[in-house]
Structure 1
Amino acid sequence: MNIPPDGRIRVLVTANPFESHLRGLVTLVTTLGELGHDVRVAVPDGWSERLRDYGVTTVEIGPMWLDPTFASVVFGALLDGGAAGFDRTLITEFTSPRFVGPVVDGVLRLAEHWRPHVVVHECTEFGGYLAAEVLGIPHVVVDIGSMDAIALGLHDEVIRSALTAIRSRLGLPPEPVTPGILRDLTVSMTPVQFNHANFETPLARYRHEFPVRHDERLPDVFADLPEDKPVVYLSMGSIGPLSSRFMQRSTEIYEELFTALSALDCSVIAALPSRYEPLFRSLPPHVHTMPWVPQSLVLEHVDLFITHGGLNSIRDTVTAGVPQVLLPFFADHPGNAVRCEQLGTGIRIDPTTVTAAQVFSACERVLKDPSYRQKTEELQHHMRALPPQTAFADDLALLVQKSADAW
């Protein structure tokens, strides 16, 4: 299937139905669209409205395949088996027929009247990859953070056998020993100084760009913050609200964090999911909570980021040059936190044993020791030296043409 004379490539993007997973590759999507390519994001029925503010074109491919008990199962595994138990349970879910099957079926139905030249998928989503295999078109995997920890680390233990069973039903050969998602092209938006230095498969790196929704603006509170105090931004991602079973542990962690931040001489901007707000109504006036914070805008105005260490947040904080205190939970979080500590950009704290004293000490140290900011800015310079995301369009065109020539 050759590229049309006008050079307009049809790109289908697949991601598991979590906004954070789409956020990990949304700037690639919007960049391709701005360059004139026909890019569509496959989502479950009813999800298009949720992604409207990212400015992407969506196509609904069938019913939601998330089971109502999904969060309880995977976060129960985190409580019972730690990070390793969570990772294994999560990838078992993501490679199960009830997750993968509906995506494959939906993409193949779509291809009957809109056939993509290439599928771009995030590294924990396998339905788009398998649909591309059936269609005989190239596929590109984007590292949104879990590639080493989950998508590669559990390949032999979980993924290979699960995908082989599904591939058999689709008339495909067994899942290869080397993960099939790596066959054509892997995309990373982090510098080699941070990760994947020894990656042996085709890998292209591009500069991270802040994903900004159309409705984002800097919170009004920034206009009133004292200029003589550092600003600390707290966001632990979306892990707490996803599971009622994990909420008690999340509440305990927030209690330690807010106890420390209440005593710190600073201004605090904290993303606190709305279900926790009734529990923290008596915070001091220098601690400002809100259910959602436009991270891409806020990070450029703060001095310290307290984060769970997901790759979206790591890429944002490096791009802004802001040092970190990290409380990693699962998947890529622990590895990212260790790497940040090794590079001198932040301090890691174990969330399973975190105390207010540890948080207070870590925050004071990062705020007072200029080396953390300097090391982060060094990594920021490496990020800025990467090719712009417009280069991805050129690489994608070469991949599609190479695939067409091979036929």
Structure 2
Amino acid sequence: MRVLVTVNPLESHVRGLVTLVDALGGLGHDVRVAVPDEWSGWLHDLYGVTTVGIGPMWLDIELETAVFSALLEGGAMDFDRTLMEEFTSPRVAGYVADRVLEVSEHWRPHVIVHECTEFGGYLAAEVLGIPHVVVDIGPLEAVVQGLHQEVVRPGLTARRSQLGLAPEPLAPGILRHLTVSMTPEQFNLADFDTPLVRYRHELPKRRDEQAPDVLAQLPEDRPIVYLSMGSIGPLSSRFMERSTEIYYKIFEALSALECSVIAALPSQYEPMFRSLPSHIHTMPWIPQSLVLEHVDLFMTHGGLNSIRDTITRGVPQVLLPFFADHPGNALRCEQLGTGVRIDPVTVTATDVLAACERVLADTSYRRATEELQQHMRALPQQTAFAGDLRRLVEGKLEGVGAE
């Protein structure tokens, strides 16, 4: 099969579905990921995927300013609303749809697979009359469906009109053919009423990954805490001041905790944190897939990539959720007993220290995470996606073509 994958050009979004790309490619299918021209080289070098450049970068400083201004001024809901307005706009969804249609003139895919906040591939598939598959990388339920009537549907209806298509359906059109989840139903989407398939999450790996040397040097009589607050928020210049405040409170707490800390601290923040205690080890980037299996606690923002990773490794969490799917994921972890949730708006060092001590001392958090891990392991391997995709392309999957 010829499979075109469309994704918003953010590395965390690519990581959300790159293992599916690997699974299909490993079975001999022609899989190409549509990316900005300047992404083709490094994405192939680091992840080994075949790419097709579709023009200049379409996510820019203007978009970042808009969404993080909304977050700082109006909170998480305003961020989500602004993000969906941007992602369904002419300069994002409209641009990608046009470029994909140009690609299809000389390389026509049998199916388009797209992540849940990327709508250009979906629109192009509708024009071409081919199946489309949406992969939940996190915000599907929390943002895309939640804002469908208010934001997504009006935006997509305008784009569809420009492409000669009927208005966007009352129910999200991206769910019409096939939805892919890489979480067990015990975690989310248990009542999903669309064609839904689940596969076991595999931790995505970059070709340059190596376990940090410090791992082998840590004392064996102390728990290991791994800190990573994701990439989008902490790396945003518009959000940097707030991120810095949160890092100060986290490191104040971890300085008082009897543990070893491995912290992913983006290089922009290094000048502010040069005098941390010796048990706190920071580095600009940490290979999460190689570190998680060695740690006792994961402090995270709660993005679905990180949640799937921590479930797969059976590691309990302390969660500081910011926006999009983070709050819902963090709430679900707390409900399932795998972690403790802290509000990043009101967080104090006392909150962080108490949460870490609680999760490290109470073995029920580890047991709950390991129970969820067993449900994850019971899911089919991602190679099963090829068969489901084949049945979809051949029109044999229930629900295909339903309006």
Is TM-score (shorter-chain normalized) higher than 0.5?
yes
Aligned length: 398
Deviations 1:183-230 (A, max 9, x none): 000000000000001100000000000100111010000110001110
**What residue number does 2:8 align with?**
16
**What residue number does 1:370 align with?**
363
Distance in 1, matches of 2:244 and 2:205, equals 29
**What residue number does 1:3 align with?**
none
Distance in 2, matches of 1:54 and 1:100, equals 25
Q: Is the counterpart of residue 321 in structure 1 residue 314 in structure 2?
A: yes
Name the SS of the counterpart of 2:202 in structure 1: coil
Q: CA deviation at 1:106?
A: 1.1
Partner AA of 2:57 in structure 1: M
Deviations 1:70-90 (A, max 9, x none): 212111110111000000000
**What residue number does 1:5 align with?**
none
Unaligned 5+ segments in structure 1 are 1-8
1:263-342 matches, cutoff 5 A: 263-342=256-335
Q: Is the counterpart of residue 25 in structure 1 residue 17 in structure 2?
A: yes
Match among 128, 132, 147 for residue 135 of structure 1: 128
Q: Is the counterpart of residue 68 in structure 1 residue 61 in structure 2?
A: yes
1:383-398 matches, cutoff 5 A: 383-398=376-391
Partner AA of 1:11 in structure 2: V
Q: CA deviation at 1:134?
A: 0.5
Partner AA of 1:131 in structure 2: A
Name the SS of the counterpart of 1:69 in structure 2: helix
**What residue number does 2:38 align with?**
46
Q: CA deviation at 1:242?
A: 3.6
Name the SS of the counterpart of 2:75 in structure 1: helix
Distance in 2, matches of 1:69 and 1:93, equals 10
Partner AA of 2:13 in structure 1: H
Unaligned 5+ segments in structure 2 are none
Q: CA deviation at 1:398?
A: 0.5
Name the SS of the counterpart of 2:321 in structure 1: coil
Partner AA of 2:353 in structure 1: F
The CA RMSD measured in Å over matched residues stands at: 1.2
Identity %: 75
**What residue number does 2:28 align with?**
36
Distance in 1, matches of 2:362 and 2:333, equals 15
Deviations 1:244-292 (A, max 9, x none): 2211110000000000001100000000000000000000110000000
Deviations 1:9-59 (A, max 9, x none): 000000001000010000000110001000000001111123121111000
Distance in 2, matches of 1:240 and 1:193, equals 28
TM-score of the two chains, using structure 1 as the length reference? 0.96
Q: CA deviation at 1:67?
A: 3.0
Partner AA of 2:85 in structure 1: T
Q: CA deviation at 1:397?
A: 0.4
Distance in 2, matches of 1:392 and 1:112, equals 26
**What residue number does 2:194 align with?**
201
Distance in 2, matches of 1:212 and 1:240, equals 22
**What residue number does 2:241 align with?**
248
Distance in 2, matches of 1:390 and 1:101, equals 32
Partner AA of 2:32 in structure 1: R
Distance in 1, matches of 2:369 and 2:235, equals 31
Distance in 1, matches of 2:245 and 2:219, equals 29
Match among 178, 186, 190 for residue 185 of structure 1: 178
Q: Is the counterpart of residue 224 in structure 1 residue 217 in structure 2?
A: yes
Match among 199, 206, 210 for residue 203 of structure 2: 210
Name the SS of the counterpart of 2:232 in structure 1: coil
Distance in 1, matches of 2:344 and 2:234, equals 16
Partner AA of 2:3 in structure 1: V
Q: CA deviation at 1:403?
A: 7.2
TM-score of the two chains, using structure 2 as the length reference? 0.97
Name the SS of the counterpart of 2:395 in structure 1: helix
Match among 74, 81, 92 for residue 74 of structure 2: 81
CA contact (8 A) 2:318 2:356 kept: yes
Instruction: Go from structure 1 to structure 2 and tell me whether the alpha carbon gap of 1:60 and 1:403 turns closer, same or farther (over 3 Å shift).
Output: farther
CA contact (8 A) 1:71 1:242 kept: no
Q: CA deviation at 1:68?
A: 2.2
